[in-house]
Structure formats: C-alpha cells, structure tokens
C-alpha cells in the first residue's frame, strides 16, 4: 500500500517540531546533568540504554533483524554522530555555557552543504540555499557576539570551543554520508542501532578517561538525574528517532535547519531557567537567524520527495 501523503506530511512536521523544540532544550539539560555526572559516562549510558531498550522493544514487536553489514554502518555512523559529535559537546559543556555551545552548533548547515557537495556523486548547493546559509550564519555570528558579551569567561576556553566546532563537523559528516549507506528499512531500528554503537563508543572513552573512578552515586543530585531521564526519553527516544527519520525523507540542507532554531530556544531557556541574560541585540540576531531558515528551506519545497 502506498504511503498516505497527508499522514507523511504530518509525520514530517511533527518530526521537525520534535527536533527543533526538544533538541533546543537538551543543551540546558546536558549542563544540568553533568553538574554531578561525568560527561562521557553520562552520554554513554544515556545512548546505550536508550538504544538497547528501543532495539529490544522493536525486535519484540516484529521488526526485521538487521544484517551484519547494517550493524557495521550503524557503528560508524553512531561513533561519528554520538561519540565524536554529541558526547564531545557534553564534555565541552563543563566549561562552555550551554547557550554558547548551541550557538556554535549553528555552523552545522555549512558542514552539511559542504559534505553533501564533496562526497562522491554530490551536488553543489543551489544559490538560494547558499543565501539562506549566509543570512543564517550572519545571524549566528551576531548572536555569538552578543551572547559572549554577557557570558563572562567564554572567550578563555578556546580549545573547548574548537572541540564543539569539530564535533559539529563529525555530526554533519555522519548525517550526510549515512544517508547513502546500507541501513534497516525501519528508521527507528536504525536509530536504536546508532545509539547502541555511539553509546558504547562514549563508554570506551569514559573508561580510558577513568571517569568511573571519580564517580559515586551518593554525589549525584536529583536535579542531574531528572535532566538525565529527560535526555533519554525526549532527547534520545523521541528527538533522535525523529532526526534519523528526517534524514531519510528530506534533503540535508532542510534537515540542518534545526541548527538555526535550537540556539534561539537554548538562549530563551538559559535566561528563564539558568539566569542567563538575554539582550535586545540577541533578540534581533535570533530574528535574522530565523530568516536564514526560511531561505534555506525554500529550494527544498520545489523538489519531489521519493
């Protein structure tokens, strides 16, 4: 039976809302969780547990068993996305404010476009796509400048800021290249496999760093545990699954627009829940960023989905 186009449109819309809204809030949740939890250990357990439980539930529900080749590609993509990508950002947030980390992630649409261009068989972005990236990046740079002015000490952590930027490159590379690799028919199964592999990679890093030796359950606050649970349920099960689904049905340029919206949400939540100050300049910069999202999305609306 062919897919219902109305249902597909609503599913795509719901997936974008999940990625836009939930992931915008995870930066603050990460900051809270690592107040008393080691960074790589927290990220590893988060993704491994979320992925394993989802995978077992899907297999019990009759989902097709993945092949060995599909596990191999899931391992590579999971390490790029979740070990070298998300987990490094978690580590960096020990020093970099959550709002600043979210702002740096706004560079991802550039890496999405470049990776999709230089890959074998890739294509150059359309002029309007480049215009959207340019306007969005202008808003991002303005937002970073304004936010750094109220986040004292952020400029002293250049290596951590560069680590966040490198994590963005790894995430974008895994996202774009993974679209063309062998993967299960079910996006949820693919997401679960990636979380298992990416979480395992983060746990290996945690073991190398010997984070378990400095970790004691008695020192973990309820605040960190609540944030950790939120990251598993909303950040991993809901938003990450939505992201993997969008990668299969939309172009990289359109999917990457979440990187423009997330920082706006992160800045608002930082001000409301963490006492971070939002200036008028940051508000105007956020508006420019949203304009970039609109321009970046317009070309994709003229393309036929397969």
pLDDT at 257 over 60: yes
pLDDT at 226 (0 to 100): 96
Q: How far apart are CA 213 and CA 303, in angstroms?
A: 53
Q: From residue 178, give the alpha-carbon distance in Å to each of 163, 170, 174, 234, 263.
A: 22, 12, 6, 23, 25
Block residue for tokens 């008393």: 36
Angle (CA) 122-125-131 rounded to 5° is: 165
Taken in order 12, 17, 18, 20, the sign of the CA dihedral is: positive
Each residue of 272-288: pLDDT tens digit?
Answer: 887 766 677 777 887 88
Q: How many CB atoms within 10 Å of residue 121?
A: 6
Burial (CB count within 10 angstroms: exposed 0-12, middle 13-18, buried 19+), residue 284: middle
**Tens digits of residue pLDDT in 128-137:** 878 887 887 8
Q: What is the mean pLDDT of residues 83-98?
A: 92
**pLDDT for residue 253 is more than 50:** yes
> Any idea which of 81-85, 112-116, 242-246 has the lowest mean pLDDT?
112-116
CA 142 – CA 146 distance, rounded (Å): 6
pLDDT digits (tens, 9 = 90+) for 32-84: 999 999 999 999 999 999 999 999 999 999 999 999 999 999 999 999 999 99
DSSP class per residue in 242-289: HHHHHHHHS-HHHHTTHHHHHHHHHHHHHHHHS-----HHHHHHHHHH
pLDDT at 305 over 50: no
Q: What is the pLDDT of residue 107?
A: 77
> Per-residue pLDDT for 4 more than 80?
no
Contact 163, 92 (CB under 8 A): yes
Predicted confidence at residue 306, as pLDDT, reads: 40
Torsional class of 63: left (φ above 0), alpha (ψ -120 to 50), beta (otherwise): beta
What are the φ and ψ backbone dihedral angles of 201, each rounded to 5 degrees?
A: -60, -40
């Amino acid at each position: 039976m062919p897919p219902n186009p109305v249902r597909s449109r609503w599913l795509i819309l719901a997936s974008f809302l999940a990625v836009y809204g939930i992931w915008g809030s995870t930066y603050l949740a990460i900051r809270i969780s690592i107040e008393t939890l080691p960074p790589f250990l927290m990220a590893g357990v988060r993704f491994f547990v979320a992925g394993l439980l989802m995978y077992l539930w899907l297999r019990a529900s009759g989902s097709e068993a993945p092949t060995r080749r599909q596990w191999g590609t899931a391992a590579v993509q999971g390490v790029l996305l979740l070990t070298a990508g998300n987990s490094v950002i978690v580590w960096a947030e020990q020093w970099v404010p959550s709002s600043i980390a979210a702002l740096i992630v706004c560079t991802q649409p550039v890496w999405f476009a470049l990776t999709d261009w230089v890959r074998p068989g890739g294509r150059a972005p359309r002029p309007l796509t480049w215009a959207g990236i340019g306007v969005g990046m202008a808003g991002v740079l303005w937002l970073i400048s304004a936010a750094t002015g109220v986040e004292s000490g952020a400029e002293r952590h250049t290596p951590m800021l560069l680590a966040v930027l490198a994590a963005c490159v790894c995430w974008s590379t895994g996202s774009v290249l993974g679209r063309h690799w062998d993967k299960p028919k079910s996006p949820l199964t693919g997401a679960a496999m990636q979380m298992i592999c990416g979480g395992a990679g983060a746990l290996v890093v945690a073991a190398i760093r010997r984070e378990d030796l400095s970790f004691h359950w008695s020192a973990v606050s309820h605040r960190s545990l609540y944030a950790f649970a939120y990251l598993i349920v909303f950040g991993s099960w809901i938003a990450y699954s939505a992201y993997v689904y969008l990668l299969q049905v939309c172009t990289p340029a359109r999917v990457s627009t979440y990187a423009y919206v997330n920082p706006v949400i992160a800045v608002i939540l930082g001000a409301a829940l963490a006492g971070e100050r939002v200036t008028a300049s940051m508000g105007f910069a956020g508006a420019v960023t949203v304009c970039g999202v609109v321009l970046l999305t317009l070309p994709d609306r003229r393309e036929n989905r397969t």
